[in-house]
Amino acid sequence: MTDSPLTTRAVHDDPEYAANLRRATLASSLGSALEYFDFALYGLSTALIFNVLFFPQGDPGMATVLAFATFGVGFLARPFGGLFFGVLGDKLGRKWVLVVTILLMGGASTAIGLLPTYETIGFWAPLILVLLRLLQGFGAGAEQAGATVLMAEYAPVKRRGFFSALPFIGIQAGTLLAALVFSGIALLPEDQLLSWGWRVPFLASFALILLALFIRMRLRETPTFVELEKHDQIADRPIRDIFSHGLPGVIVGIGLRMAENGGSYMFQTLGLAFFVSVLGPTADKSLLTWGVTIGSLIGVFSVPFAGHLSDRFGRRTIYRVGSVFMLVYTFPAWWLLSLGNHAIAIAVIAVGIGFAVATMLGPQCSMLPELFGNRHRYLGVAMAREISAVLAGGLAGVLGSYIISVSGGNWVLLATYMATLALITTASTFLVPETLRRDLTRIDDAIKVSRNEGGEDVYATTVSIKAVGL
């Protein structure tokens, strides 16, 4: 599990490969930016606009729950998209799958900006919104996994943590752009905001689609997938392979994502909804989004820095620092939000996104691809990411808004929920092997399945001393 000769030689000696590394970084970053621009924009709109425009207003609290349920529906579609496109990515290659997913995901988001409201077409409005959200989630289910795999397979081995984290600046940039745009349109008079203002950012995402598509069409296939083709090792049945050999990696990957993904969406969307429930009509919606804006701006620097630290100290160590920080931060954060002070709320959300979430996201970018063998890496990463997105991010909005509705905004319950996610992730860091500098041309997983004397499957982690630089 030393440096792959393929990757090391290519990066240092092949100018064309180095150019492709730059293209891969840009292509992955733009896709991440589009995905999280759409998702952050949808989340902000869910808490403040969609609950008004797309659902009956007899019970405003229940309308908000239904709006977050629509938000969660997108997460339900993501594992199916990850499964479908993950198989194609492991059989046909990474590049073309990423071309298709950007079109599907971006097209659905643009169409949301054209959708009539409940007042215009009645119950057809939320039904079509759900359909578009499903299509958006289906494409997004493979988009981020593909970007993760693409960069990990292109990156120089000794700096894989840093390079793999660079596209995830797109996550922060997309979230930052959504927050800035939403802050701007929130300044409109309410009648203009609800009539046409909210549509503008959804329609504007079409420009990002065209730019990302142009770059991805010029991208070459990753060298590790080329190696699979060269040695005729491409899996005929990636799904069978993932369930027979890769399931331990998927399960651990899900655990690693609970605090990062769930915490991210809780701070971005649920934190806003909770604060509004505390202050009611006096809450300044445009001011609140600055917490997400500042947190995302911090993340532009903290995510690649955390990836860089994982190249020096190991993936598990840095990941555990982030999950423990979130665990310690959770109860003070939600108590401070409950005080109803705008400045404090902005700071709480900014720290949660920019430090707690980002410190886990940095090493995760390289760690998840390193967990899986080359034959089913795309599918393994997609399943770990998207199943966790349902259990963490999707459920967070629905369950959290329900807790707010029935408990009258009890911050202790919300903090306990987030702390549970952080505990799951912290425990998972003790179950995963150190994957630092693992050779990605290997076809075996970092977590292997062996057999005991009774013939039962036993999960065993394998770590090379060379892999951790000792």
Residue 464 has pLDDT above 70, yes or no: no
pLDDT at site 24 = 81
Distances from the Cα of 72 to the Cα of 8, 177, 193, 244, angstroms: 42, 22, 24, 30
Res. 381 pLDDT band, cuts 50 70 90? very high
Contact assessment for residue 170 and residue 36, using Cβ atoms and an 8 Å cutoff: yes
Residue-wise pLDDT for 172-200, tens only, equals 778 778 878 877 877 778 788 777 888 88
Instruction: Record the pTM.
Output: 0.79
Residue 417: predicted pLDDT: 93
Position 451 pLDDT exceeds 70: no
- Confidence at residue 317, expressed as pLDDT on a 0 to 100 scale: 97
In this prediction, residue 452 carries a pLDDT of: 42
For residues 9-22, average pLDDT: 64
Cα separation, 127 vs 255, whole angstroms = 32
pLDDT over 70 at 5, yes or no: no
CATH code for the domain of 452: 1.20.1250.20
The pLDDT assigned to 262 comes to 93
Predicted confidence band of residue 364 (pLDDT cuts 50, 70, 90): very high
Model confidence at 372, pLDDT cuts 50, 70, 90, reads very high
Contacts of residue 96, Cβ cutoff 8 Å, sequence gap at least 6: 88
Segment among 41-50, 110-119, 219-228 with least mean pLDDT: 41-50
CA distance 289 to 43: 11
Give the tens place of pLDDT for each residue, 149-178. 988 998 889 999 999 998 878 777 787 788
Q: Which of 173-182, 390-399, 454-463 has the lowest mean pLDDT?
A: 454-463
**Higher-confidence position of 26 and 332:** 332
Report in angstroms the alpha-carbon separations of 76 from 79, 157, 387. Answer: 7, 34, 8
Mean pLDDT score across all residues of the chain = 82
Query: How many Å apart are CA 256 and CA 47, to the nearest integer?
Result: 27
Per-residue pLDDT, averaged over 326-353, amounts to 94
Read off the pLDDT of residues 244-283 as tens digits, 9 standing for 90 and up.
Answer: 888 999 999 999 999 999 999 899 878 888 887 887 766 7
Q: Do 289 and 272 form a contact (C-beta atoms < 8 A)?
A: yes
Tally of domains within the chain: 1
More confident residue, 437 or 182: 437
Question: Rounded to an integer, what is the distance from CA 381 to the centroid of its chain?
Answer: 12
Using the predicted structure, report yes or no on whether residue 11 has a pLDDT greater than 50: no
Top-confidence residue, 36 or 117:
117
Cβ contacts of 119 within 8 Å, gap of 6 or more:
53
Taking CA atoms, 241 is separated from 214, 379, 395, in Å, by 33, 10, 29
pLDDT(10) > 50: no
Which is more confidently placed, 317 or 239?
Answer: 317
Give the residue, 391 or 422, on which the prediction is more confident: 422
Residue 455, phi-psi category: left (phi > 0), alpha (psi -120 to 50), beta (remainder): left
Q: What is the pLDDT of residues 40-63, one digit of tens each?
A: 777 777 767 777 777 766 666 666
Domain that holds residue 256: 5-468
Rg (CA), the chain: 21
Q: Which two tokens stand for residue 225?
A: 């997938």
Tokens of 271: 């934190």
Q: Grade residue 224 by pLDDT with cuts at 50, 70 and 90.
A: confident
Determine the residue type at 164.
S
More confident: 9 or 24: 24
Mean pLDDT across 303-325: 96
Return the percentage of the chain with pLDDT > 90, whole number.
30
